Homo-oligomer: A and B are copies of this chain.
Amino acid sequence: MTDLNQPISGNDLARFSGPNTFMRLPPVDTLAGLDVAVLGIPMDIGTSWRSGTRFGPKQIRSESAMIRPYNMATKAAPFDSLQIADIGDLAINTFSLADSLRIIKESYDAILAQGVTPVAMGGDHSITLPILRAVAAKHGPVALVHVDAHADVNDEMFGEKETHGTVFRRAYEEGLIVPDKTFQIGIRGSGYAASDFTEAAGWGFRQFPAWELWQQNLTEIGSQIRKTIGDHPVYITYDIDSLDPAYAPGTGTPEIGGLTPPQALQLIHALGGVNVVGCDLVEVSPPYDPTGNTALTAANLLFELLCILPGVTSR
């Protein structure tokens, strides 16, 4: 364990000090030797309502300084067995969504070529399409756990095929995901027609609207999902707006009646053991939450995702 990166301890350096990396892990410039790369994809030009997610990675890193390396609830200790580092931000083109998506795809190809598991901090949800393209190129069509207020299965928005609202239709059409191992959890809100949800159900997607989950413990649903996925490689994409805006006001398209953090944690805990090949946490918009609690929540969810990566041990 002595060779593995460890977060700076709050007992060694005051938490308000140190590098602004995820959990104050070492910043690195190379993928060599890494098992897991935490990275930022700071972008908001794929969003349709409030912008601001370009500052998401920065604030998530800032708030992550509070997190210690051991998971008291699950006993997972991700830094005991995996080499994890913060590789910084992708150099996206902030003036072109199309070009940025291309850059993400190529960057992920490079990461995956090294056998490194990518854990991304968004950015708006449009980043997940090029990520899935790279992931599927590496692993074949993947199972998908998609936690979100929105199904993001529009065909187009303002004539554009690739935005934060069209990701999973594209992923389905392009065969990047396994439809009957695709789970959409927390979707809700208003729409244009029943088909906004039912069409994806017709493709095989399993949907768990928020209203069926209210006041429920999500452990059981998480366990069922885990069993259905089995050993298949799985990608987890976590939109912070899956949570109720009370818990995550700092986001671009909030919808009332969302999940609670206990539900979010129950779900991730229950997924422990699936074969995660990558994950992301998207749509944190700092200008809409100066308290930083949205980013704090995001940082914690990312830590919980680290805790269920393959190879993580507990003590």
**Complex CA–CA separation, A20 to B210 (angstroms):** 29
Cβ contact within 8 Å between B52 and A191: no
Q: Is the CB of B193 within 8 A of A95?
A: no
Chain B residues within an 8 Å CB radius of A47: 94
Please give the distance in Å from A243's CB to the nearest CB on chain B. Answer: 9
Decide if B293 touches A73 in the complex (CB within 8 Å).
no
Docked Cα-Cα span, A62 to B58, in Å, equals 9
* Chain A facing B: main interface SS: loop
Chain B residues with CB below 8 A from A68, complex form: 189-192
The answer to whether A95 touches B45, judged by C-beta atoms less than 8 angstroms apart, is yes
Once the chains bind, are B196 and A262 in contact (CB under 8 Å)? no
Q: What's the interface size class on A, roughly?
A: 35 or more
The one of B14, B17, B42 that contacts A16, using a Cβ cutoff of 8 Å: B42
Contact with B along A42-82 (1 / 0, CB 8 A): 10111111111011011001100111111111010000000
Q: CA separation between A256 and B88, bound complex, in Å?
A: 25
A136-180: which residues lie under 8 A (CB-CB) from chain B?
157-160, 162-163
**Roughly how many angstroms separate A180 CA and B198 CA in the complex, as a whole number?**
42
Residue in B48, B54, B73, B214 whose beta carbon sits within 8 Å of that of A211 in the complex = B73
A residues 71-114 near B (Cβ < 8 Å) are 71-73, 75, 88-98
B-contact bits for A239-258, CB 8 A (1 contact / 0 none): 00000111101100111110
| Residue from A61, A190, A250 whose CB has the most chain B CB atoms within 10 Å | A190
Closest to A211 in B: B73
Complex interface: chain B residues within 8 A of A246 (CB): 244, 246-247, 261, 293
* Besides the known contacts A19-B88, A66-B253, A72-B188, 4 further A-B residue pairs in the complex with CB atoms under 8 A apart: A96-B97, A215-B216, A245-B291, A245-B296
Residues of A within 8 A of B (CB): 9-20, 27, 40, 42, 44-52, 54-55, 57-58, 61-62, 65-73, 75, 88-98, 157-160, 162-163, 187-194, 196-197, 209-211, 214-217, 244-247, 249-250, 253-257, 261-262, 265-266, 287-291, 293, 296-297, 300, 303, 315
